[in-house]
Amino acid sequence: MIIILLVCVLFLSFSFLNLFLSSYSNINKINSFFSFLLSAAGLFACAAGLISQGSFLPFKSQFINNYFYFDYLSHFFLLIFYISLSAVSLYSAGYLKKTEGKKSLNFFWFNFYLLAFSMQAALISKNSVLFILFWELMAFSSFFLVMTDFHKKEVRKAGFIYMCANGAGALILIAAFSLYSDSYYNFSVSSYPSAVFFMTLIGFGLKAGFIPLHIWLPEAHPAAPGNISALMSGMMIKMGIYGILRTLSLLSPWKESWGWTILILGSLSAVLGIIFSLGQKELKKFLAYSSVENIGIILIALGLAILLNCNGYYELSVIALFASLFHIFNHSIFKNLLFMSAGAIAQSASTLIFEELGGLSKKMPYTAFLFFIGASAASGLPLFNGFAGEFLIYYVSFSSIGFKSGTFSVFAVLSVSLTGALALASFAKIFSALFHGGLKNENHSDIKDPSLYMLLPMGFLAFMSLLAGLIPYLPFKLLFSSFNFAFTQSSQWISVSKYLLMTTCSYCALIMFFLAFYYMRKRISKENETKEGITWDCGYGTSLPSAKYSAASFSQPITEFFSFDGQRSRSYPKILEYFPKSAFYSGNTRAVFYELFYAPAAKKIKKAASRLSFIQSGQLRFYILYIFLTLAALLIWKI
Task: For residue range 451-482, list pLDDT tens digits in order.
Answer: 899 999 999 999 999 888 888 777 777 766 65
Report if residue 45 sits inside a domain. no
Report if residue 577 sits inside a domain. yes
434 shares a domain with 400: yes
272 shares a domain with 310: yes
374 shares a domain with 443: yes
Judge whether residue 485 has pLDDT over 50.
no
383 shares a domain with 324: yes
| Domain count of the fold of the chain | 2
Report if residue 228 sits inside a domain. no
Domain ranges, residue 608: 596-639
- Do the beta carbons of residue 535 and residue 338 sit within 8 Å? no
Over residues 324-329, mean pLDDT: 90
- Do the beta carbons of residue 437 and residue 548 sit within 8 Å? yes
557 shares a domain with 607: no
606 shares a domain with 459: no
Report if residue 104 sits inside a domain. no
Report if residue 482 sits inside a domain. yes
615 shares a domain with 586: no
583 shares a domain with 616: no
Judge whether residue 590 has pLDDT over 90.
no
612 shares a domain with 474: no
pLDDT tens for each residue of 4-31: 888 888 999 988 888 887 766 678 888 8
Q: Identify the CA nearest to 318 among candidates 520, 72, 551.
A: 72
At residue 486, the pLDDT reads: 44
At residue 488, the pLDDT reads: 47
The reported pTM is 0.87
601 shares a domain with 580: no
365-368: long-range pairs with CB below 8 Å, 24+: 365/449, 366/449, 366/455, 367/341, 367/449, 367/450, 367/455, 367/458, 368/434, 368/435
At residue 55, the pLDDT reads: 47
Report if residue 414 sits inside a domain. yes
Alpha helices in 485-615 (DSSP H): 491-527, 551-562, 592-593, 599-610
At residue 507, the pLDDT reads: 72
452 shares a domain with 386: yes
At residue 569, the pLDDT reads: 58
563 shares a domain with 634: no
Strand partners, 571: 586
Distance, in Å, from the CA atom of 332 to the CA atom of 335, rounded to the nearest integer, reads 6
- What is the three-state SS of 87-116? HHHHHHHHHCHHHCCCCCCHHHHHHHHHHH
Judge whether residue 614 has pLDDT over 80.
no
